[in-house]
Amino acid sequence: MGQDKKYQQYLLRFSFPIIISGIFMTLANVVTNMIISYMGTDELLAKNIFSKYNSLYLAFNSGFALIFANYYFRYLKQETKKKKIFKMSIMGIGFISILIMFLFIAFRKSLFNLYCKETNATVIFNFYSNIRAICFPIIGINAFLSYILSEKYRKRILLGNIIALAIEIILVAVVVFKTNFNMQIIAIIEIFARIIKLIIFIYPFRKDLEIRVLDEFKFENIKKLININKKVITISFITFMNVFVGMLVLKLYSYVDASKILCITISDDILNITSNLFVALSNITTTQISPEVNNKKLILKSKIKNIYKYINKMYLLFFIITILFSIIFLQLYNVNTEILRSTMIILWIRCILYIAIPLTDFHILLLKTKMDVKKLWIVDTVYDFIILFLSFFIYKVLLLDLIGVVFIYSLLLFIQTIASKKFVKEMYQ
């Protein structure tokens, strides 16, 4: 029980910077996508599909970043040990990220062809992703630094994200509207923005990079690191599987109608803005009640009920606003009328049924707080695969079009919320 409390603190204490980073990364991605749409639909498709793989990588490497941060904070009172672990963590995450980067570059053409076989879009994706993949190590190290900066350097986290966001948007706009450069230059700009953020993040730890760390790379230390983080590793794997299922859902949509996959990715752009806001809200509120979850205080149940209702109302309000302004918002993308119309319908369907998502996320966060890995696995992974299978089965039987499949999948997600609530029902009673 004592270890569970510590892990609970490690997970929730460092959630704030990741929330901020996630929101700013989403905003940068959405605004950049709007600007890139003026280069052409092939460029936008290449950028959006790469973003899916980038999210998959981030879900994978965030787990390692949390594990290293967990290990780092165990030695706060031992300065020499802490500095060694800091440098070891940077090197470890960098090595893992570089390995993934080379694997992605080796198979990037095949990965893109899973969703689209358009020749021009494939060529653009290959050139863009070949450079952009260099960001993988930078993103991984940034994730680790975000965790360990969370307690004393929150202003630095905010400043780093704002500067990176401004650099990326301004330079991408200049490239698209003032020059004839291609997507490779966009990739270089995105790398440059993230390097600036990395420099801002790493500055307080510059002296820690000078220490020798060779004695930390011992088998017993690696084994110990894994043993004390078993639950953290499992939860990180569940998060990765959730993003992986999202990639399979995108494959389902492309299988139904590959020519309209851009409609899905654009609607994802818009929904991700609202989703990130409410994932942040869920994380913050869960952090507030986490000490009471373990102690099972009576006040907890009424507090959870109030938070649950509050998230529900706020999410519904934001999505009503999204629907009302979706016509104007979508017109910021330079796409043809057919794509605009299909995207509008898909967005409305997902808005109406998507209100279930933050509530499911809230249930999942409660299970993470309780470190109930078994129930978390069922709610966040098993259900997702069942929903994906049912969606594919219904599509094959009824021969639905893309809009029909989106409706079925979104409806099943809505039902998932009702089912997932039973796993935390004792907190509402």
For 235-290, the pLDDT digits (tens) are: 778 888 888 998 999 999 999 998 889 999 998 888 777 666 666 666 555 555 55
Asked whether residue 291 falls in the same domain as residue 391, the answer is: yes
* pTM of the complete model: 0.84
pLDDT number for residue 48: 92
Whether residue 382 has pLDDT greater than 80: yes
- Lowest mean pLDDT across 43-57, 208-222, 356-370: 208-222
Whether residue 372 has pLDDT greater than 80: no
The token pair at 369 is 């707080």
Asked whether residue 272 falls in the same domain as residue 138, the answer is: no
Out of 228, 254, 269, pick the residue that ends a domain: 228
Asked whether residue 423 falls in the same domain as residue 276, the answer is: yes
Asked whether residue 265 falls in the same domain as residue 208, the answer is: no
Asked whether residue 220 falls in the same domain as residue 245, the answer is: no
The token pair at 58 is 């981030």
When divided into structural domains, the chain yields a total of 2
Helix 2-13 and helix 41-73: axis angle, to 10°? Answer: 140
| Confidence grade of residue 193 (pLDDT, cut at 50, 70, 90) | very high
Asked whether residue 304 falls in the same domain as residue 392, the answer is: yes
Q: Quick count: other Cβ atoms within 10 Å of Cβ 313?
A: 10
pLDDT digits 0-9 by tens, 393-419: 999 999 899 999 999 998 888 888 777
Which of 211, 55, 68, 197 has the alpha carbon at shortest distance from 138?
Answer: 197
- Expressed as residue numbers, the domain containing 405 is 230-429
Asked whether residue 300 falls in the same domain as residue 394, the answer is: yes
- Lowest mean pLDDT across 84-93, 132-141, 220-229, 364-373: 220-229
Asked whether residue 222 falls in the same domain as residue 238, the answer is: no
Asked whether residue 150 falls in the same domain as residue 291, the answer is: no
Out of 179, 207, 228, pick the residue that ends a domain: 228
Asked whether residue 172 falls in the same domain as residue 267, the answer is: no
The token pair at 59 is 């879900």
Asked whether residue 61 falls in the same domain as residue 209, the answer is: yes
Asked whether residue 271 falls in the same domain as residue 219, the answer is: no
| Confidence grade of residue 1 (pLDDT, cut at 50, 70, 90) | very low
In terms of phi and psi (left: phi > 0; alpha: psi -120 to 50; beta: otherwise), the region of 40 is left
Whether residue 168 has pLDDT greater than 80: yes
Out of 204, 228, 252, pick the residue that ends a domain: 228
